[in-house]
C-alpha cells in the first residue's frame, strides 16, 4: 500500500508541477459546461433574438396581432427592413424579403400577405420562406412560429364567424346564430367552447396552454401556411453538407496542433540544435514548419471533402474554385493557430492542453456544434473572432448556398488576416521564446 501511495504522490507532484496544464484540466470542462448550460441549461431558456425577416402586408387585425406577439417574444428579433447600398433602411416587399433570406442575412422570413385574412375568408394565409442551413435553428423557428400563430387562430376564427353571422343575418339573428353555432362547434368538433377565449396577445405560452387538442386539430385546417425553401433545395445530403465544414475544421486544428508541438520534441531530442548548427536560420525553420503544416492541412481537408463527396454526395465541384480558396485560407489560419500554441507554451503538455481548450472553445462558440444564434449575445460577439466561425460560414456559403468566389471574399480576407496576425505574433514570440 505504501508503494502505491508513493506512486500516487509522484503522479500528483508531476501533475501539480505544470500549473498551466493543471489549470486547463479544470478550465476546459468548466468552460464547455458554461457554454452548454447557457444554451440548454434551464427549462425556460432557449435561443433568443433569432433574426426573422418579417413583412405584414395585411390590414387585418390578426396580422397586427401576430406582429405584436412576435415583436414581444424573446425568441425572435423581427427584421422589417434591409439596408441598401447607400446605407438607407428600406422596408421589405415580397421580393426583397426573399432576397434577404437567399443571401443568408436571416434563416427565415414570415410574410403576412394582403389577402391573409378577409371578412369573406374563413382561414388565415401566411407565407414562410426559409433557408435550412442549420436544421436545429430552423426547427426552433418553425416550432415557435407555429405556436405563436396557432395561439391567435381560435379568437380570430370565432370573431370572424361572428362578424359574418351578424353581417348576413343582422344583429339579432346573428347573435342568436352565434349562440347556436357555439353548441354546434362544440358538438361536432368536440371543443369546449367555454374555453375559447380571446387570448392575451402578449402571452403566447399562456395562450398555447389554453389550447385544447381538439382546438388544434380543428384550427390547423383553417391555416394556409405556405412555406418555400429558398436555399439548398437541390442538395443531395443537406445534413452532411451543413456539418462537414465544422467537423473538418475541428479535426484540422487537432492535426495541426499536434504537428506544431512537434517542435518541442525536436528541441528535446537535440535535433533543433543540430539543424541550427547547420547554415539554417530560425526563420527558415519556422517557414518550413508553416508551409509543411499548411500543405498537410490542405491535403487533409481535400481528402475529407473528396471522401464526403463520394460517400455523402456533398457537391464539391459546383464551386470548386471557391472551395479550394477556402481550403487554403482555412489551412493557413489553422496552421498559424498551431504555431502560436508552440510559441506561447513553455512545455509540450502546456501546448497540448492549451490547444485542446482553444479548439473546443472555438468549435463551440464558432458554431461547429450548434448555431451561434443559440448563444447569449456576448458569446455571439466572441464567435466572430474565431477562425472556426469564418471557415464554417465560408463552407456553408460555398457548399450550401453555392455562393460565387466574390461572396466569400470577406471570409477569405478574415481567415488570411487571422493567419497573418497570429503568425506575426508567433514569430515575435519565437524570437524571444523557449523553443529556440
Q: Which of 14, 33, 273, 385 binds other proteins (CB under 8 A)?
A: 273
Q: Least Å distance between CB 17 and other proteins? A: 18
The residue assigned the cell 489553422 is 334
Residues 282-301 close enough to bind other proteins by CB under 8 A: 282
- Reading the block at residue 378, the C-alpha cell is 456576448
Q: Which of 20, 258, 275, 296 binds other proteins (CB under 8 A)?
A: 275
Burial class (CB in 10 A: 0-12, 13-18, 19+), 87: exposed
Our finding on whether 274 is near other proteins (CB under 8 A) is yes
Q: Least Å distance between CB 130 and other proteins? A: 53
Binding mask of the shown chain, residues 148 to 187, with x at each position contacting other proteins by CB under 8 A: ----------------------------------------
Distances (CA, A) of 362 to 83, 249, 266, 394: 30, 10, 28, 16
Reference 394, options 411, 407, 410; nearest CA is: 411
Q: Least Å distance between CB 10 and other proteins? A: 24
213: Cβ contacts below 8 Å, ≥ 6 apart: none
Beta strands in 36-175 (DSSP E): 50-56, 76-79, 81-83, 89-91, 108-112, 124-130
Our CB check for other proteins shows the closer of 189 and 436 to be 436
Whether the CB-CB separation of 330 and 323 falls below 8 Å is answered with no
Distances (CA, A) of 386 to 61, 255, 429: 45, 18, 21
Per-position DSSP letters for 339-361, written without gaps between them: HHHHHH-SSHHHHHHHHHHHHHH
Q: Least Å distance between CB 432 and other proteins? A: 12
Given the rule CB under 8 A, which of 67-75, 204-212, 278-286, 326-334 is the region that contacts other proteins? 278-286
Residues 229-268 close enough to bind other proteins by CB under 8 A: 268
Q: Least Å distance between CB 282 and other proteins? A: 8
Q: Which of 276, 296, 324, 379 binds other proteins (CB under 8 A)?
A: 276
Our CB check for other proteins shows the closer of 37 and 270 to be 270
Whether the CB-CB separation of 411 and 325 falls below 8 Å is answered with no
Q: Least Å distance between CB 276 and other proteins? A: 5
Our finding on whether 280 is near other proteins (CB under 8 A) is yes
Distances (CA, A) of 266 to 252, 275, 398: 22, 10, 39
Our CB check for other proteins shows the closer of 276 and 405 to be 276
Our finding on whether 278 is near other proteins (CB under 8 A) is yes
Distances (CA, A) of 278 to 245, 260, 275, 329: 41, 21, 5, 32
Our finding on whether 120 is near other proteins (CB under 8 A) is no
Q: What is the DSSP letter of 366?
A: H
Q: Which of 13, 281, 378, 432 binds other proteins (CB under 8 A)?
A: 281
Our finding on whether 271 is near other proteins (CB under 8 A) is yes
Our finding on whether 279 is near other proteins (CB under 8 A) is yes
Q: Which of 179, 202, 269, 424 binds other proteins (CB under 8 A)?
A: 269
**In this structure, how many other beta carbons lie within 10 angstroms of the beta carbon of residue 318?**
11
Q: Least Å distance between CB 278 and other proteins? A: 4
Q: Least Å distance between CB 273 and other proteins? A: 5
Q: Which residues bind other proteins (CB under 8 A)?
A: 268-271, 273-282
Amino acid at each position: 500500500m505504501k508503494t502505491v501511495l508513493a506512486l500516487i504522490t509522484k503522479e500528483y507532484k508531476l501533475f501539480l508541477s505544470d500549473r498551466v496544464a493543471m489549470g486547463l484540466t479544470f478550465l476546459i470542462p468548466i468552460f464547455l459546461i458554461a457554454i452548454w448550460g447557457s444554451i440548454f441549461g434551464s427549462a425556460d431558456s432557449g435561443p433568443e433574438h433569432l433574426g426573422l425577416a418579417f413583412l405584414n402586408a395585411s390590414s387585418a387585425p390578426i396580422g397586427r396581432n401576430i406582429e405584436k406577439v412576435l415583436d414581444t417574444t424573446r425568441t425572435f428579433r423581427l427584421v422589417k427592413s434591409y439596408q441598401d447600398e447607400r446605407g438607407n433602411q428600406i422596408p421589405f416587399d415580397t421580393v426583397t424579403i426573399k432576397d434577404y433570406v437567399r443571401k443568408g442575412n436571416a434563416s427565415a422570413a414570415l410574410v403576412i400577405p394582403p389577402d391573409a385574412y378577409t371578412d369573406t375568408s374563413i382561414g388565415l394565409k401566411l407565407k414562410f420562406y426559409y433557408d435550412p442551413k442549420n436544421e436545429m435553428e430552423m426547427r426552433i423557428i418553425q416550432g415557435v412560429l407555429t405556436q405563436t400563430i396557432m395561439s391567435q387562430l381560435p379568437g380570430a376564427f370565432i370573431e370572424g364567424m361572428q362578424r359574418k353571422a351578424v353581417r348576413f343575418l343582422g344583429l339579432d339573428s346573428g347573435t342568436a346564430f352565434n349562440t347556436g353555432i357555439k353548441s354546434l362547434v362544440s358538438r361536432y368538433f368536440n371543443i369546449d367552447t367555454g374555453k375559447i377565449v380571446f387570448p392575451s396577445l402578449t402571452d403566447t405560452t399562456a395562450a398555447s396552454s389554453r389550447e385544447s387538442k381538439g382546438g388544434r386539430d380543428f384550427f390547423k385546417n383553417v391555416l394556409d401556411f405556405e412555406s418555400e425553401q429558398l436555399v439548398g433545395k437541390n442538395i443531395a445530403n443537406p445534413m452532411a453538407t451543413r456539418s462537414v465544414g465544422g467537423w473538418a475544421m475541428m479535426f484540422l486544428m487537432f492535426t495541426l496542433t499536434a504537428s506544431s508541438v512537434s517542435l518541442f520534441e525536436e528541441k528535446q531530442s537535440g535535433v533543433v540544435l543540430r539543424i541550427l548548427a547547420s547554415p539554417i536560420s530560425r526563420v527558415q525553420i519556422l517557414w518550413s514548419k508553416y508551409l509543411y503544416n499548411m500543405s498537410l492541412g490542405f491535403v487533409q481537408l481535400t481528402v475529407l471533402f473528396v471522401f464526403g463527396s463520394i460517400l455523402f454526395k456533398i457537391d464539391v465541384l459546383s464551386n470548386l474554385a471557391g472551395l479550394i480558396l477556402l481550403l487554403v485560407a482555412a489551412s493557413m489560419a489553422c496552421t498559424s493557430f498551431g504555431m502560436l500554441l508552440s510559441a506561447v507554451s513553455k512545455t509540450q503538455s502546456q501546448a497540448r492542453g492549451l490547444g485542446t481548450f482553444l479548439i473546443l472553445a472555438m468549435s463551440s462558440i464558432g458554431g461547429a456544434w450548434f448555431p451561434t444564434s443559440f448563444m447569449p449575445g456576448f458569446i455571439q460577439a466572441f464567435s466572430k473572432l474565431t477562425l472556426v466561425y469564418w471557415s464554417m460560414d465560408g463552407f456553408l456559403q460555398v457548399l450550401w448556398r453555392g455562393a460565387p468566389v466574390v461572396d466569400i471574399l470577406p471570409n477569405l480576407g478574415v481567415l488570411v488576416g487571422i493567419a497573418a496576425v497570429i503568425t506575426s505574433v508567433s514569430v515575435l514570440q519565437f524570437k524571444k521564446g523557449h523553443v529556440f
